[in-house]
Amino acid sequence: MGNFYQVLAILVAAVVVVWLFRRWRLPAILAYLVAGTLIGEHGLNITGDDSDYEHIAELGIVFLLFTLGLEFSLPKLVAMRHLVTDVGCKQVGLTLLIVILLALMFGLSGPTAFVIGGVVALSSTAIVIRQLSESGSIKRRSGQISVAVLLCQDIAVVPFLIVIPLLGEGADWGVLSALAIALIKGCFVVGVLLFAGRWLLPRIFNVVAQVRTDELFVLTTLLVTLLAAALTQFFGLSMALGAFLAGMMLGESQYKYQLEADIRPFRDILLGLFFVTVGMKLDWQALFQSPGSIALVLVLSLLIKISVIRILAVRAGESAKDAWASGFMLAQMGEFSFVLIALAANNGVFSTELTSILLGAGILSMAVTPFMISHARDWAVKLTLENNQKLSEQQQELSKPQRPLSNHVVICGFGRVGQTVSRFLKQENIDFVAIDIDPVRVNEAREAGENVLFGSARQAEVLHAANIEEAKLVVVSYGAPEQSFDVVQKVRSLSEHVQILVRTRNDDALTKLQEAGANEVVPESLEGSLMLVSQVLNLSGVPFSRIVRQIQAERKNHYNRLHGFYPGVDTDMSAGAIERLEFVHATLLNDDAFATGLTIEELGLTEKRVEILSIRRHGREIPHPSPKERLMAQDTLVLQGKPRRVERVERFLQEGE
């Protein structure tokens, strides 16, 4: 029972700390590490010997490397080969060399210095990719540089996993001897697994897939992963290496996405347990005894990686701004850094004190990562001020209109949507001027003869340069509602008569934009729905004239019939979304319901700002019932409105309160 309560303590700590960290928008990896430090032998000491859990937790790394192998795509690597080789691979090698030299200067041994170099050279794929995806920066050039570097770092993990166990066994031979032995063993194992992956695994999964049993497919995936891991371990190499190779062999198969979905629950749970066991090794006393060492390691690792990535990216032909931004994004240590630290500690390469120092520095570096990524571009701009002098001169030239205009269209944002609008305006010989903040795009467009201004449409000076006072229409093509809202307010403050047409991705901010002064708001999601509906009706035999009338009526009615929808499991139910969205909800009137026998008009639902879309009675539907319609017991009412209003009206219909 003792082990049971220890496992229970781990789960309780993990759940509570992960919940707290996610509320604070911090990475879950940090939460697992902190949970481990709280319950480990240097904390509350309620888990006993952590070696009991390490064997199970190591499977988390096995499954992590398996999914990494699934994502390892040779075509993707070839497409990004310029950035991967010139920035990614050189970053790993140069960082490794610098850290090794610094570690040797501090009196550490060669094997220890080598592993520390590997720990510092790696960045957090999980945190960086997630942060870039959430912020939309992954499509920017700095994001692409970061992805290329992360791809190379993920590949570099594999040789580190091979070498570290050998360093512990034969540190006296030196790093080169260990690498030579690892290379021989690795080539043999890779050859075996490549042969098995090419000829055996596809046939196995074809047979299993034909049985159409989910449980058997999951079991086969687990078996293949663990067998590959066991093979590499048998030859004295890392289990994670075998899992990576197995994943890589299956990454090009038709079962890739199903395999990833099957393995993800096991990977996430066991990986969390792994980071908990890593946290158990963190000695709080050592942290308090050597805060200077931790701060030194943290600062040096951040400065080295930022500087190396910046230098290499610029040498590869990237702009200084994007180079700096990528350096800030990738400055932290990664989840694989903790894997290497744990592996080095288990093989006697790291002492307990050094392990705690590196863990402390790694945890702190990951803690500041979200902040660094969110401010990376701002810092990069400030650090490239010396280059902005020439750029500002070019931008001043780009801010001047190419020709004077009147009774024209102003396009705010000259991205893909803005350029599409401009092409149709040119076909009809309608004058326009576009405003965009991207100097490269503006320069390219002006060289091609487009009438485009550089600047922000939120600035009055730029709008005056576009002669907003004499424009007949302003098209705001940004997708972000906050940016569009600011532009609408600024345009309306400068011109009361100009028509403003706003494009948004959905209808969340439709009312807000209209209140700010927009004459028309076109939500992409609703317009896309209307286009789809028109095609469906056309292919279903509905006369085209009737389709056009219905579509026009819906637009004239401000998409009212498209606003409400039935919520699902994946619907955003956060406080902000709840206030914006309208839901459709069906409620059944009980025999003793308050609304039974009353008309819709008598209930006063209009004042409650909830609409009855339809009534389902005795198997037939009454769409858009009149206010005089009297409700009956067992009627199913389809209500539309904001969630809280619908909830109140539902209670009112049943109880009269």
pLDDT band, residue 13 (cuts 50/70/90): confident
pLDDT of residue 178: 56
Question: What integer pLDDT is reported at residue 574 of this predicted model?
Answer: 47
Question: Mind listing the pLDDT tens digit for each residue in 86-135?
Answer: 888 899 999 999 999 999 998 888 888 999 999 999 988 767 766 776 56
Asked if residue 281 has pLDDT above 90, the reply is: no
From 142, 143, 128, 235, select the one nearest 185 (Cα to Cα): 235
Confidence of residue 576 (pLDDT cuts 50, 70, 90): very low
Is 47 a member of any domain?
Answer: yes
Q: What is the pLDDT of residue 306?
A: 93
* Whether residue 184 is found in the same domain as residue 211: yes
199 shares a domain with 318 = yes
Both tokens of 321, joined, read 């701004």
Residues 87 and 207 in one domain: yes
Confidence band (pLDDT; 50, 70, 90) for 299?
very high
Query: Is 87 contained in some domain?
Result: yes
| pLDDT band at residue 405 under the 50/70/90 scheme | confident
Name the residue type at position 22: R
Q: What percent of the chain has pLDDT over 90?
A: 10
Q: What strand order describes the sheet that includes 636-641?
A: 564-565, 582-588, 636-641, 611-617, 620-623
Question: Residue 385's pLDDT is what?
Answer: 58
Of 20-29, 252-261, 296-305, the range with the lowest mean pLDDT is: 252-261
Is the same domain home to 444 and 528? no
Where does the pLDDT of residue 400 fall: very low under 50, low under 70, confident under 90, or very high at 90 and above? low
Higher pLDDT, 167 or 620: 620
Do the domain assignments include residue 567?
no
Of the three residues 561, 592, 621, the one that is the final residue of a domain is 561
pLDDT digits (tens, 9 = 90+) for 425-449: 888 888 899 998 877 778 778 777 7
| Co-location of 508 and 545 in the same domain | no
* Residue whose tokens read 């730029």: 462
- Looking at residue 236, its pLDDT comes to 66
Section 506-532 average pLDDT: 78
User: What confidence tier does 549 reach under pLDDT thresholds 50, 70, 90?
Assistant: confident
pLDDT at residue 327, rounded to an integer: 92
Residue 503, SS3 per DSSP? strand
pLDDT at 175: 52
Q: Do residues 375 and 508 share a domain?
A: no
pLDDT digits (tens, 9 = 90+) for 223-234: 888 888 888 778
Q: What CATH number is associated with residue 616?
A: 3.30.70.1450
Domain count, the chain: 4
Answer whether residue 569 is part of any domain.
no
Q: Work out the angle at residue 500's Cα, subtended by the Cα atoms of residues 499 and 505, and round it to the nearest 5 degrees.
A: 150
324 versus 338: the higher-pLDDT residue is 324
Question: In this model, does residue 469 exceed pLDDT 80?
Answer: yes
592-602 confidence digits (pLDDT tens): 888 888 888 88
Question: Can you tell me the mean pLDDT for 23-48?
Answer: 76
Q: In this structure, are 200 and 328 located in the same domain?
A: yes
- Residues 409 and 544 placed together within one structural domain of the fold: no
Examine residue 387 and state whether it is found in any structural domain, yes or no: no
Same domain, 194 and 332: yes
| Predicted confidence band of residue 57 (pLDDT cuts 50, 70, 90) | low
Q: Does residue 615 share a domain with residue 503?
A: no
Average pLDDT in the 373-391 region? 69
pLDDT at residue 536 greater than cutoff 50:
yes
For residues 618 and 501, state if they share a domain. no
- Tell me what pLDDT residue 409 has: 92
Task: Check: CB of residue 312 under 8 Å from CB of residue 326.
Answer: no
* pLDDT per residue as tens digits for the range 175-217: 556 566 666 776 787 778 777 777 787 778 778 877 777 778 8
- What is the dihedral angle through the alpha carbons of 159, 309, 79, 248, rounded to the nearest 10 degrees? 20
- Tell me whether residue 298 is in a domain: yes
Question: Please, what is the average pLDDT of the chain?
Answer: 78
Q: Is residue 402 part of a domain?
A: yes
> Phi and psi at residue 416, in whole multiples of 5°?
-65, -40
Domain of 505, CATH number, reads: 3.40.50.720
> What per-residue confidence (pLDDT) applies to 36?
82
The answer to whether residues 133 and 118 belong to one domain is yes
Query: Domain span at residue 350?
Result: 2-381
Return the pLDDT at 531.
78
Which pLDDT score, from 0 to 100, does residue 603 have?
A: 86
- Which token pair is 402? 């190419």
Contact in structure between 3 and 245 (CB atoms under 8 Å)? no
Residue-level pLDDT at 569: 42
179, 181, 187, 193 alpha-carbon torsion, rounded to 10°: -110
386 assigned to some structural domain? no
| Position 554 pLDDT exceeds 50 | yes
Report the predicted TM-score, pTM, of the whole model to 2 decimal places: 0.54
Q: How confident is the model at residue 386 (pLDDT cuts 50, 70, 90)?
A: very low
How sure is the predictor about 303, in pLDDT bands with cuts at 50, 70 and 90? very high
Domain end (from 336, 359, 381):
381
Residue 395's contacts (CB-CB under 8 Å, 6 or more residues apart) are: 439, 454, 455
Give the residue from 381, 409, 438 where a domain finishes: 381
Specify the residue for token string 């021989």: 184
